[in-house]
């Protein structure tokens, strides 16, 4: 008799991602420049031989990440890979250090190694949720670098994807915001999200049938947080008004939007070289001739390159700068986040630190 359907589903999702990681590693190895010839080295001991690839799981102790950790522990050895784990202590709740220590014990009991807890200081930039996310990813990046991990698995589900799409819609930041979370992201595709096509209940069910203890973060039910309100009030209201299937439709919208956004980003990257003068400045007349979706991507990239934080750069900022190109009436400079200033000078769009 095979595993429970929920367990089978999460294992299959992880297996597919691990295969992708191995394929990417092989491609990287094949494209690496040849090493200079050297005299033969003496035989290496087992400890000196190159270790098999390491994949880490980011685990909070919740149902999604515990289900992911259990599937990684089961699948990685079958593919000749090592499985480790990391939990991040944000220090935002009393006893968070004890909770992180418990997660370390649970991951170790699953057979993961190395396993560690990383304590972080959460700032205030961008609000509490964004600040916690930034601190968490910084800790995960540091752990991946320290252990030379081939990938870090994240437990975001289809429900998380739907919430992300709705948050992007509320910001009005364009099609890229509607594309939600990518299945692969980060430096060299470091972060992998195997569960984006699985719902939250599947992960919880997998934990239950495997008797895996889980921790429900009280912040996930705290109405002070936007995502929590959306999860417990917004999405249920949408499903009541529109019927079941809203989450699936939003996740599908994310994928379609991502495909479109990727194509437009590629177009903008190619077009950017044609709209700069010999000194590298953007020429307004050439920008004006481009489709708005392409032009605004070039403007956004120029603002980010000048120092504007991507997370604080909204559609309204880009629209204001765009009017310097399409509705020029002698208006003054536009102030952007990060103390970046955009202004039109002699038919050129100049974006720089103010």
User: Which residues participate in the annotated binding site?
Assistant: 60-65
In angstroms, rounded to a whole number, what is the distance separating the alpha carbons of residues 70 and 212? 9
In angstroms, rounded to a whole number, what is the distance separating the alpha carbons of residues 232 and 26? 43
From residue 284, alpha-carbon distances to 137, 211, 321 in Å are 37, 62, 11
DSSP 276: B
- In DSSP notation, 293-339 reads HHHHHHHHHHHHHTT--GGG--HHHHHHHHHHHHS-SS---EEETTT
Residues paired with 171 in a beta bridge: none
Question: Which residues does the annotation place in the binding site for ATP?
Answer: 60-65
In angstroms, rounded to a whole number, what is the distance separating the alpha carbons of residues 269 and 294? 9
Q: Tokens 């991946």, residue?
A: 144
DSSP 274: T
Sheet holding 334-336, edge to edge: 282-283, 348-353, 340-345, 334-336
Strand pairing report for 184-185 and 191-192: antiparallel
Strand pairing report for 340-345 and 348-353: antiparallel
């Amino acid at each position: 008799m095979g595993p429970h359907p929920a367990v089978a589903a999460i294992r299959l999702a992880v297996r597919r991602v691990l295969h992708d990681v191995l394929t990417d590693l092989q491609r990287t190895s094949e494209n690496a420049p040849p090493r200079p010839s050297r005299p033969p080295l003496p035989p290496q001991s087992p400890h000196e031989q190159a270790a098999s690839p390491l994949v880490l799981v980011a685990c909070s102790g919740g149902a999604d990440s515990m289900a992911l950790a259990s599937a990684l522990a089961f699948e990685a050895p079958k593919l000749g890979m090592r499985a480790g784990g990391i939990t991040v202590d944000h220090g935002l709740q009393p006893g968070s250090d004890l909770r992180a220590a418990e997660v370390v014990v649970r991951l170790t009991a699953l057979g993961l190694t190395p396993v560690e807890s990383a304590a972080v200081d959460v700032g205030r930039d961008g609000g509490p949720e964004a600040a916690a996310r930034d601190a968490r990813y910084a800790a995960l990046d540091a752990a991946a670098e320290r252990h030379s991990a081939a990938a870090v698995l994240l437990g975001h589900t289809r429900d998380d994807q739907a919430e992300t799409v709705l948050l992007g819609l509320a910001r009005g930041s364009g099609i890229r915001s509607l594309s939600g979370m990518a299945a692969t992201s980060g430096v060299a595709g470091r972060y992998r999200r195997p569960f984006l096509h699985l719902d939250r209940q599947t992960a919880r069910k997998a934990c239950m049938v495997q008797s895996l203890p889980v921790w429900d973060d009280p912040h996930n039910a705290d109405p002070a947080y936007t995502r929590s309100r959306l999860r417990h009030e917004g999405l249920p209201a949408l499903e009541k008004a529109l019927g079941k299937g809203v989450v699936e439709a939003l996740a599908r919208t994310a994928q379609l939007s991502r495909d479109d956004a990727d194509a437009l980003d590629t177009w903008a990257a190619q077009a950017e070289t044609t709209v700069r003068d010999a000194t590298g400045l953007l020429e307004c007349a050439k920008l004006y001739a481009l489709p708005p979706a392409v032009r605004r991507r070039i403007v956004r990239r120029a603002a980010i390159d000048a120092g504007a934080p991507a997370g604080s750069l909204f559609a309204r900022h880009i629209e204001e700068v765009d009017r310097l190109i399409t509705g020029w009436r002698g208006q003054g400079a536009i102030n952007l986040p990060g103390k970046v200033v955009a202004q039109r000078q002699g038919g050129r769009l100049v974006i720089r630190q103010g």
